[in-house]
């Protein structure tokens, strides 16, 4: 099979592998869980609503009655919830093979997480930064473990205002710019995390992926509902199915040829859809210095230290 036609058939058997998928009840996360379940993985579907999670789990079980899935409560917009999730996980799992940091929100109006962070950076980046730090022992205990951060083509040409990281009081808040910054943060975090693993000689890899433009629930804040409904036929022409959109993150999580900092996305025009391949990041902001700045700020804000 050529490198440009990677499919779920390329996923190896995952028996005895433990995988956490954040935002596993919907869209790309749910599709990833279908694929992992088909390969016998032990899956933790981490969701902010366990009711939604149980419903999604039943969907998977309908197709695959032997799927091994535990639904677990995780609200990435609440550090206390992240801590509780990590404590519960560690009680039952000494090791973690794959942490798929997939959950996200897009273009939400200005709002704050429980801990007072602007919600897009808070959920998409800071929540995952905290979660990964709290699960570090389990990743360390597992040889060749991986952390996959899900970014977006929206990171291209984006920047982060380190002087106003949390967009204080919502002054000059732009839902789109805040989303772009949070997706750039996912890539800076991948770089910082890989540097951390290398420096500490930890046998874990940090990688990232993006799904192009995929048909999921992510677009609920893009426009008023009536306009989205009206535009949907047009939007569908530009999008791919979630099942296909999840392939880059799946590939990033299991491909044996993957190296730290690799970034997967679709191979089609403008990376909007297509087969999952290695792609390039595109932002002058993606520097070691900024990765380190974001890392330090994230440690201070979340009170979670990786050392």
Ligand X SMILES: NC(=O)c1ccc[n+]([C@@H]2O[C@H](COP(=O)([O-])OP(=O)(O)OC[C@H]3O[C@@H](n4cnc5c(N)ncnc54)[C@H](OP(=O)(O)O)[C@@H]3O)[C@@H](O)[C@H]2O)c1
Q: Is 214 helix (H, G, I), strand (E, B) or coil?
A: strand
Closest to ligand X by CB, 220 vs 257, is 220
The count of C-alpha atoms lying within 13 angstroms of the C-alpha of 114, restricted to the half-sphere facing its C-beta, is 10
Q: Are 281 and 183 in contact (CB under 8 A)?
A: no
Answer for which of 17, 20, 29, 178 binds ligand X (CB under 6 A) is 29
Q: Check binding of 123 to ligand X (CB under 6 A).
A: yes
Sheet strands (E) in the chain: 18-22, 42-47, 68-73, 98-101, 145-150, 204-209, 214-215, 240-241, 263-266, 276-278
Q: Is 134 helix (H, G, I), strand (E, B) or coil?
A: helix
Q: Check binding of 37 to ligand X (CB under 6 A).
A: no
Q: Check binding of 28 to ligand X (CB under 6 A).
A: yes
Answer for which of 211, 248, 274, 276 binds ligand X (CB under 6 A) is 211
Q: Check binding of 48 to ligand X (CB under 6 A).
A: yes
| Shortest Å distance, C-beta 23 to ligand X | 3
Closest to ligand X by CB, 249 vs 255, is 249
Q: Check binding of 77 to ligand X (CB under 6 A).
A: yes
Report the C-alpha gap between 88 and 118 in whole angstroms: 27
In this structure, what is the dihedral angle of CA atoms 86, 92, 96, 102, given to the nearest 10 degrees?
-50
Q: Check binding of 214 to ligand X (CB under 6 A).
A: yes
Report the C-alpha gap between 156 and 145 in whole angstroms: 28
Answer for which of 44, 96, 105, 193 binds ligand X (CB under 6 A) is 105
Rg (CA), the chain: 18
Residue 180 token pair = 């772009």
The reply to whether 173 belongs to the active site is yes
Residue 225 token pair = 């509902």
Closest to ligand X by CB, 114 vs 288, is 114
The single residue of 173, 179, 264, 306 carrying the catalytic annotation is: 173
Q: Check binding of 192 to ligand X (CB under 6 A).
A: no
Closest to ligand X by CB, 125 vs 199, is 125
Q: Check binding of 216 to ligand X (CB under 6 A).
A: yes
Answer for which of 26, 177, 281, 298 binds ligand X (CB under 6 A) is 26
Closest to ligand X by CB, 8 vs 216, is 216
Answer for which of 166, 213, 250, 301 binds ligand X (CB under 6 A) is 213
What is the DSSP track for 13-44? P-TT-EEEEETTTSHHHHHHHHHHHHTT-EEE
CB proximity list for 171: less than 8 A, separation 6 or greater = none
Number of residues that bind ligand X (CB under 6 A): 31
Which residues are catalytically annotated?
Answer: 173
For ligand X, the binding residues (CB under 6 A) are 22-23, 25-29, 47-49, 52, 74-77, 102-106, 123-124, 150, 152, 210-211, 213-214, 216-218
């Amino acid at each position: 099979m050529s490198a440009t036609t990677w499919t779920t058939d390329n996923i190896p058997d995952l028996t005895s592998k433990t995988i956490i998928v954040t935002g596993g009840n919907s869209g790309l996360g749910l599709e990833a869980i279908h694929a992992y379940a088909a390969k016998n993985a032990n899956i933790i579907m981490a969701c902010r609503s366990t009711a939604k999670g149980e419903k999604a789990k039943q969907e998977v079980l309908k197709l695959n009655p032997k799927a091994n899935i535990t639904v677990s409560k995780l609200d990435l917009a609440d550090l206390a919830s992240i801590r509780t999730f990590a404590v519960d996980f560690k009680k039952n799992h000494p090791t973690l093979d794959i942490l798929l940091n997939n959950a996200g929100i897009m273009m939400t109006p200005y709002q704050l997480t429980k801990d007072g962070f602007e919600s897009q950076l808070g959920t998409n980046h800071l929540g995952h930064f905290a979660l990964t730090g709290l699960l570090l022992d389990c990743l360390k205990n597992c040889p060749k473990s991986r952390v996959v951060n899900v970014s977006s083509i929206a990171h291209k040409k984006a920047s982060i205002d380190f002087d106003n990281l949390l967009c204080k009081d919502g002054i000059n808040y732009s839902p789109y710019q805040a989303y772009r910054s949070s997706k750039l943060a996912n890539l800076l975090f991948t770089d910082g995390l890989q540097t951390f693993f290398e420096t500490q000689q930890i046998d874990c890899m940090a990688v990232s992926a993006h799904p192009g433009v995929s048909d999921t629930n992510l677009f609920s804040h893009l426009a008023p509902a009536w306009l989205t409904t009206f535009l949907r036929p047009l939007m569908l022409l530009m999008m791919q199915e979630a099942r296909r959109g999840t392939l880059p993150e799946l590939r990033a999580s299991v491909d044996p040829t993957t190296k730290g900092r690799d970034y997967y996305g679709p191979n089609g025009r403008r990376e909007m859809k297509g087969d999952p391949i290695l792609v390039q990041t595109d932002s002058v902001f993606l520097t070691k210095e900024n990765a380190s700045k974001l890392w330090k700020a994230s440690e201070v804000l979340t009170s979670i230290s990786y050392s």
